């Protein structure tokens, strides 16, 4: 249990620090005062105040963090310009986020998610350059009897070239592309006897568990994959290739994450794809971080990159209180040429609090349920 708690705290501290530092960097760049930089919420455990007056601290509840700007009356950075004009002098107003140009306010809001993507990019580039990337070509060594693969025409010794429009460049790509597919049919492009064939396969949905015992719904087509001609190829990439594959990986994960989220939303109305039980919160993140920490430093570093991308994407959703919500409100105010009144903003933020609270309740319920199922088996 201690392993899970420590792994969770380390992972969350890293991705949250990077996220909040993105906000902090752009705020300082554009002259916005920063009074607090906190990892976690609630009571301060320890910290220090730098020469610029920023209080850097760790707080008791390690489920996030925040940067508090000069003049903020809460950690959500909502403001009333009329009140601020009365309260602060013209010189002090130069340090207030509320009076910065639209593009600067939006860049400060976008800085957090941007920092998360940069963290993932740096990790991917480093791993691909100094550890290497699997570039082993994949072929089908076995097609299981009466499986979707057999039914829809995949054959033994087919070389997998493409799955759902994604080029297959390694053995790992095959399971990744199948697992993250969201359509009813998965499109395979294979090389057979020097000719390319395109086949669409409808996978079976199978109740299963992952390697750590967590329940999940798998998409199964019924094939066994092996290196083509037993040619295992693990390559350390040069800088240009490493950058290319890192950007490609981030875009792929982002695209598939959004597709899955859209599937979950449709599922709420009885349509779409996705197992809502897989939505998780802090307990699931703790389980994942602890499980990957057991596998070694490299898997743990890689899961940090994936969690960082997820955090960046989540914060870009146009929900009030999140960075995407701030960007949306700022942009609408810029288009209208006037700010929203206080009551409208308060109601908007209440909606945001409600949405996030419902999401947290749902994910924590899933966390507890899956946790109990895991340790009952």
Domains of the chain: 2-129+304-376 (no CATH), 133-235 (2.30.42.10)
Set 20, 150, 187, 333: catalytic member: 20
In 3D space, the residue among 77, 76, 124 whose CA is nearest the CA of residue 100 turns out to be 77
Q: Which percentage of the chain shows pLDDT scores above 90?
A: 42
Six token digits for residue 144: 């299981």
Q: Give the number of other Cβ atoms within 10 Å of residue 91's Cβ.
A: 7
- Distance spanning both ends of the chain, measured CA to CA: 17
Q: Which pLDDT tens digit goes with each residue over 192-227?
A: 999 999 999 999 887 765 555 555 667 889 999 888
Least confident of 23-27, 298-302, 352-356: 352-356
Backbone angles phi, psi at 244, to 5 degrees: -60, -50
Is 48 within 8 Å of 70 (Cβ atoms)?
Answer: no
Nearest-angstrom CA–CA distance, 145 and 162:
23
Model confidence at 158: pLDDT above 90:
yes
Is 160 within 8 Å of 168 (Cβ atoms)?
Answer: yes
- Quick check: is 20 catalytic? yes
Q: Which pLDDT tens digit goes with each residue over 83-116?
A: 788 888 888 888 998 889 999 999 999 999 999 9
Is 222 within 8 Å of 232 (Cβ atoms)?
Answer: no
Model confidence at 370: pLDDT above 70:
no
């Amino acid at each position: 249990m201690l392993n899970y708690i420590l792994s969770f705290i380390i992972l969350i501290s890293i991705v949250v620090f990077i996220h909040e530092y993105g906000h902090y960097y752009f705020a300082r760049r554009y002259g916005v005062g920063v009074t607090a930089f906190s990892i976690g919420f609630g009571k301060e455990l320890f910290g220090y105040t730098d020469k610029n007056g920023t209080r850097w601290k760790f707080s008791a509840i390690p489920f996030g963090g925040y940067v508090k700007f000069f003049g903020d009356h809460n950690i959500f950075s909502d403001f009333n310009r009329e009140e601020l004009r009365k309260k602060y002098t013209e010189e002090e107003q130069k340090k207030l986020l509320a009076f910065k140009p639209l593009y600067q306010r939006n860049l400060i809001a976008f800085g957090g998610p941007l920092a998360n993507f940069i963290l993932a990019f740096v990790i991917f580039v480093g791993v691909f350059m100094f550890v290497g990337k699997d570039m082993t070509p994949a072929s089908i060594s076995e097609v299981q009897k009466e499986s979707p693969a057999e039914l829809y025409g995949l054959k033994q010794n087919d070389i997998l070239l493409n799955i759902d429009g994604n080029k297959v460049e390694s053995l790992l790509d095959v399971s990744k592309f199948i697992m993250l597919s969201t359509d009813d049919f998965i499109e395979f492009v294979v090389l057979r006897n020097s000719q390319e064939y395109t086949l669409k396969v409808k996978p079976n949905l199978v109740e299963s568990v992952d390697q750590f015992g967590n329940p999940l719904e798998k998409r199964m087509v019924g094939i066994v994959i092996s290196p083509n001609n037993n040619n295992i190829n693990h390559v350390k990439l040069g800088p240009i290739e490493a950058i290319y594959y890192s950007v490609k990986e981030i875009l792929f994960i982002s695209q598939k994450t959004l597709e899955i989220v859209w599937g979950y939303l449709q599922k709420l109305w009885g349509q779409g794809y996705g197992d809502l039980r897989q939505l998780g919160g802090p307990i699931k993140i703790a389980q994942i971080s602890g499980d990957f920490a057991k596998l070694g430093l490299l898997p743990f570093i890689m899961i940090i990159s994936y969690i960082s991308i997820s955090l960046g994407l989540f914060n870009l959703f146009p929900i009030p209180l999140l960075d995407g919500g701030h960007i949306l409100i700022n942009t609408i105010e810029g288009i209208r040429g006037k700010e929203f009144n206080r009551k409208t903003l308060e109601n908007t933020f209440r909606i945001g609090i409600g949405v996030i609270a419902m999401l947290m309740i749902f994910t924590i319920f899933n966390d507890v349920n899956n946790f109990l199922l895991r340790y009952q088996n």
